[in-house]
Structure 1
């Protein structure tokens, strides 16, 4: 039961900005979560942290330790990236358009409404109110849209919708009782979307300012008045900061008399005091040096970024075009089109050799190296909801199918999609991995079942029917010789021969859509099918006898699964029950009532209370564990339920999301949000120009969805469409509205209290090792069940003594020991030593392993997975070394 969230796959990038930390780690928002992609190692992880709704803005500290996220409800999380925990929380009063850490990491600039707020950056220390508001700049007449810090963290450059940009200073210069008003950069005719400081490489001081407007024009501003005079600079009272106490250098609140200063003109800084104190931008005049056009009159600027070290500018446009310029000469280096939709984020990495682009409309994230003109990363999630998932037999791969007509195959350990099949012309409804691990089957509403080769990445078989049909379920024998698919429209089951693609038989008898198919794990002749006609039928496929037996129910049957040993059959019905049948004797064994367990979450369109509503209180997908001891169930709810099969009790409930941007998450609706026109959240009053990401009205949905599960016109409904447990039993995946959630078993310290006594302690393990009693120490560590102690004892055994120690291990600790070896094979460099352990363990306990194969199957599958992966890595390395040696030998012989 100790499953924890591990990763999120298949979820597209839907908007917001991206950042790159440590030069190789790309951080991007994915719904209400944050995804971190290691561009060097090609690995993607999703932080186990959720915001209250979709994240709109993120910012990372310069050292890459802290991450700040702001969601659509203005709720902010301060996250420790290395520990993956939330340190602090705060809520802003107005929508946040931009947020940035200062270069020294001491302050955070937040553009909230018309204000620019400067907050002191909190640290690791737990405080009652860690965020301290230092300054508030209120000079803008409209919403602030862009922010930029100067390299010395003294100045903040802000662009606004009022067509201007302003420089604000963190320090307060009170020479002769004068305060200096922020300088305004005027002249733009559209919203300012980007503001940047240009640096003089000799003095490392600001010498230029770039302001970029949405209409495709850039102004370049330069400093004048090097004689130290104000040179006509406007000196006046500073705009009072609303609600922010003014503080002196020691942090003490000053009196009100210091906030009201008389205006003085003609002030000259003859002594250069402003320069000495860091006011080198305040005693000079800014002048417009030149005005440049990006040459895209039909496009708007939607994203931009500037790299100070290389003095380069990247600009993204509304029609998928981006341009790269060398500044200050404004020389265009590249101009390319990467999509037909607008680019919502564009950012340099620290070295400036990689460019990251995001397109929210298509759900794409691209990392492009501009020098070699090649892609470093090109990832795209499913555009619409994921309908089905399937694990490969070795648990290394995960296939997903969705409403966007695509099949994607992911590497579970790295979280990367390495192949996408797009030959289907309609939604994918079912997937099945073949036993040889090299091919994949997919069924679709386009009337075809396709077989994919995972070596050559091609469609090598297509199974069709004489007349077009819509397939919604799929099954294949363990040998892969026979393939069956159930239909939505004609209520029939079609049977094909895989080798010849010939249609062998059509099984008729159901009177409703066939939504569940499963072959018996022990008898390849028996096929179980479930239908909305309230029956589960068993078929003898090879004998062509038709239906062998029928199990009647009182409600529509939604899905059916076999237990791994083939001695039990589970099916869910529309009344929220799970029925367990004995397929051999045809008897109903027991029933689990799950209506109360899965209920939860009110829809915005509901007119009844949760207690009186019957919508969504049923399971649409079931999955047995690898050993058959428990079963997972999910449906049109925010919960995934885990039941003990033997005791028929609820073990645990997983809440798949806390995202309030989805419907069905709240248990209680707020009546004040109800208007005469309907729920306030469902009223779409936003301008189309401001919409980013996927249109909520056009999200994919299948035409055969059950009543109560249809997405409303406002927000997508949270639900689970498919559940699959890995053959290793160490993880499971859930195809949900937000993507594919992967849960794995946490390897934390777990022990069985009944297996402990007063002598079983870590000190006892150390004492046994000091006395060279390695067998006793290993058994004690297995009883404690702590990974560090078990590994310590394993490596304390001499290689010569491995057979003796392995034969003395009690049978009840075999499963735990095998799991440890499977983990060590993936992480430990001592390959020969671990393989020797595995070999001797199998020799000493071969009979016991055969007798308890069902219980040990998950652990043995994990070990097989680790050995297979290690073998593949070694094979690639040996092949490469062999080719290199041949090349070197041929070179020496030529000389």
Structure 2
């Protein structure tokens, strides 16, 4: 039962800024979690740390060890990336718009409302309060962008309302160290950056980029030769130069007259940089350029200081790459039709990362070779269904966006997307050969997909259009059955010919559950007509058995051995039937277990509400001893079937940006007009680029539409257990959550005795008794000792040791072999072990296939993966060897 969150699939990116650390690791927010993608190994992993709402800002320390994440509620977490744990937490009273570490990693600049707060970067040691604020600067306007100078002594800050960029010295310098203002912008600033003179390695330029697609280049001119201060004219406003007699630096409502600066003492005409050299100097506008994107807004930008490159993204899905300071366009391409929400360089400047929140799209593009390093896109509507491949290496997902995606479970990457369906995908099923995927949709078609050639090779239809909501195939793969939403019928097709063979009638409601028995050709179906029916499809006898219930039946599943049937009803119960004798075996009442979470529009408390207190999806574990159940709730329940007890409840999220997570509504946020969260008092149409016509098309302005302001409601639509039994997946509002067995050390001995100790195992190995040491380690059930004893057996002794292994330890030994194949290079050694075990204990394995099936599936998965890798390597080496042989022959001739 030791399952823990491992990964999140189906939603690679949902908004916020993405960053690249250590030049090869991409970090991006996914809802209220953070995903870390290794761009070299092509693997992605979601850190098992959650914030209270969706994350909108992240920043990483220069060494890549620490991560600072801020959510929509201005609550921040400080994460150790290597250990994947939260070290510290802090909250702010105003919205946080931008966060950035200084280049040396000692300070963090945070834009909180109209203030810039500079904090000391906390370390990994636990302290009562790890954060220490160094300075708080009032910028008089909401902050939208900031950047550090290379020496970590200055900040350039861009604001929204006053359209101003401020140059700030981090060290307090009194009245003479007020921020320097860059004026003349006509829209809010999206990005501000320092430019560096490569010869002198000093800051000599500032770039400011505005939302109206303009970039301003400012140059630092310094002072006159004798140190006399030149009165700075307001940059960007040449028409005011004649009348301007003083420059105002604003901080804490103070005005500094330029005449006060003339009394400073200069030495040799130069000013010490420690005294705010850049703030007190003269800046002038060098040039301003237009990106020439008509009817588009600039939404994201970044600047690479070493290569002097600027990348910008626009609201129409176009991005541009420009060489500065000459403003030469290197690339101008379109990646989508939606707004680009993040654009960032890696450390070397050869890779560009783009994100589109609406499409869930994340791209990494190498601009020199014009090739993709990473191209991932999640489902931008809810995931409805899941299907594991028989070897557990692949996971298919279908969603309301009419798309089917197939993911590699180990890497977390989607490698193929099928988009031929024209309506929501409602059911998926993998065929036994692992190379064919079936899908059902509301568009009235069933489709078969070839996972070798990535194409739709067969389409199944009905004489009149129907909406399919359930799908299954018999174990032999000869027939396909699908249940409908509108006609309440079950259609049967031939897989080989694609012809419609039969139509099963009898249900009086939508057929939402459909599954063949794993051991015979009996089909089980569940319907909202309060019944479960068994059908003999091949004999054509129709319904051979009917199990009646008092409430609507929502789903039905078979146990892996086919000797038990489970179904959930609208009253919140799970019924377990014996399909052979037709008797009710057990019944579990789960209304109280799944209850939890109150919607913003609910008039009743969670205890008094009846909505959502039922299971809409069920899934047996691989050995059939337990069952997972989920529904319109934030909980997934795990039950022991024999004892009918709840073993564990998994809360799928703590994200308050979703509806139905809180058990109690906050009375402080209640008003006469209703909950404060439901009152839309912000006019965000112009800022976010959503006009009123678009809102009307989406139905946002219709009476009664979007009662909770568009907040998704948390629910679980589908649950699937991996055939290996070591992981399971849940299709939720957050995405596809993967839970796997925790591999951390947990003392769970199989057959403990006084003499069974680690010292006894080591003593047996030192006395050259590997068989005794292996049996003792299996009884102790400590993973490291088991693997040590396996490798202590020489290849020649394997035939002698394998028969002496007690059969009750076979499952644990097979699990150890499957784990070793994932990491160790001794393939032949492990395969020889497996061969000898099958020879000596083959009869026991065959008789106890149900209990050993998860371990055998894990072993099969590992061997299949290695076989695929080796076959690819051998096929590539074959042509290389042919070339080398032909080349050597020509040289000899």
TM-score (norm: length of structure 2): 0.94
Which of 632, 645, 662 does residue 649 from structure 1 map onto? Answer: 645
Are 1:688 and 2:700 counterparts?
no
Give 1:625's aligned residue.
621
TM-score normalised by length of structure 1: 0.94
* Pair 1:421–1:527, CA change in 2 (3 A): same
- String of CA shifts for 1:649-681, please: whole Å, max 9, x gaps: 111110000000111100111233233433221
User: 1:413 and 2:425 equivalent?
Assistant: no
Q: How does 1:164-179 map to 2 (within 5 A)?
A: 164-173=164-173, 179=176
C-alpha displacement of 1:173: 3.8
Measured in 1, the distance between the counterparts of 2:687 and 2:249 equals 36
For structure 1, the 5+ residue unaligned runs are 243-258, 702-709
Map 1:103-502 → 2, pairs under 5 A: 103-138=103-138, 140-161=139-160, 162-173=162-173, 179-226=176-223, 227=225, 228-233=227-232, 239-240=251-252, 264-271=260-267, 274-275=271-272, 277=274, 279-502=276-499
In the TM superposition, 1:689-838 aligns within 5 A as 689-691=686-688, 714-752=710-748, 755-838=751-834
Identify the range of structure 1 (152-161 vs 5-14) with the bigger mean alpha-carbon deviation: 5-14
Counterparts of 1:29-68 in structure 2 under 5 Å? 29-68=29-68
Tell me how far apart the structure 2 counterparts of residues 753 and 866 of structure 1 sit (CA, whole Å): 25
Q: Partner residue of 1:69?
A: 69
Is 1:661 the counterpart of 2:673? The answer is no
What secondary structure, in the 3-state scheme, does the structure 1 residue paired with 2:177 have? coil
Alpha-carbon distance, 1:697 to partner: 10
Task: Tell me the alpha carbon deviations over residues 468-492 of structure 1, each in whole angstroms, 9 at most, x when there is no partner.
Answer: 0000000100111100000000000
Per-residue deviation, 1:10: 0.4
Counterpart-to-counterpart distance in 2, 1:196 and 1:436: 56
Cross-structure match for 1:706: none
The answer to whether the Cα contact below 8 Å between 2:750 and 2:778 also exists between their aligned partners in 1 is: no
Deviation at 1:682, TM superposition (A): 2.1
Partner of 2:9: 9
Query: Aligned residue for 2:869?
Result: 873
Give the 3-state SS of the residue equivalent to 2:779 in structure 1: helix
- Once the two structures are superposed, residues 817-853 of structure 1 have per-residue CA deviations (whole angstroms, 9 ceiling, x without a partner) of 1011001111101111111111122222112211211
Q: Secondary structure at the match of 1:640?
A: strand
Contact map agreement 1:803 1:840 (CA 8 A) in 2: yes
Q: 1:515 aligns with which of 490, 512, 516?
A: 512
Does the C-alpha gap of structure 1 residues 696 and 68 become closer, same or farther in structure 2, counting only changes over 3 Å?
farther
1:146 Cα shift? 0.2
Is 2:836 the partner of 1:840? yes
Deviation at 1:357, TM superposition (A): 0.6
C-alpha distance in 1 between matches for 2:565 and 2:86 = 43
SS at match of 1:266: helix
TM superposition shift of 1:342: 1.3
* Alpha-carbon offset, residue 714 of structure 1: 3.4
Instruction: Give me the whole-angstrom Cα distance separating, in 2, the residues matched to 1:781 and 1:230.
Output: 81
Distance 1:754 1:805, change over 3 A: closer
SS of aligned partner of 1:77: strand
> How many residue pairs align between the two structures?
866
The offset of 1:190, in angstroms, is 0.7
Matching residue of 1:852: 848
Cα distance between partner residues in 1 of 2:247 and 2:456: 72
Find the aligned partners of 1:780 and 1:67 in 2 and give their Cα distance.
44
1:37, CA displacement in angstroms? 1.1
One of 514, 528, 533 as aligned partner of 1:532? 528
Match of 2:500 in 1: 503
Instruction: Give the whole-Å Cα distance in 2 for the aligned partners of 1:823 and 1:693.
Output: 51
Shift of residue 761, structure 1, vs aligned partner: 2.1
Q: Take 1:771 and 1:689, find their aligned partners in 2: how far apart are those partners? A: 79
Contact (CA 8 Å) 1:385, 1:699: kept in 2 or not?
no
Distance 2:528 2:800 in 1: 58
CA distance in 2, matches of 1:608, 1:104: 53
**Aligned pair in 2 of structure 1 residues 336, 714: CA closer, same or farther (>3 Å)?**
closer
CA distance in 2, matches of 1:578, 1:365: 41
Question: How far apart in 2 are the matches of 1:53 and 1:289?
Answer: 43
CA RMSD of aligned residues (A): 2.2
Q: Unaligned stretches of 5+ in structure 2?
A: 233-245, 701-705
Matched position secondary structure for 2:156: strand
User: Per-residue deviation at 1:700?
Assistant: 12
Q: Deviations over 1:778-830 (max 9, x none)?
A: 22222222211111111122221122222221111111110110011111011
CA drift of 1:358 comes to 0.7
- 1:263 Cα deviation (Å)? 8.3
Q: Which residue of 1 aligns with 2:703?
A: none
CA deviation vs aligned residue, 1:537-562 (integer Å, no higher than 9, x gap): 11111111111111100000000001
Counterpart CA distance in 2 for 1:636 and 1:51 is: 22
Shift of 1:631: 0.5
Partner of 2:35, secondary structure, is strand
Q: Return the alpha-carbon distance in structure 2 between the equivalents of residues 235 and 512 of structure 1.
A: 78
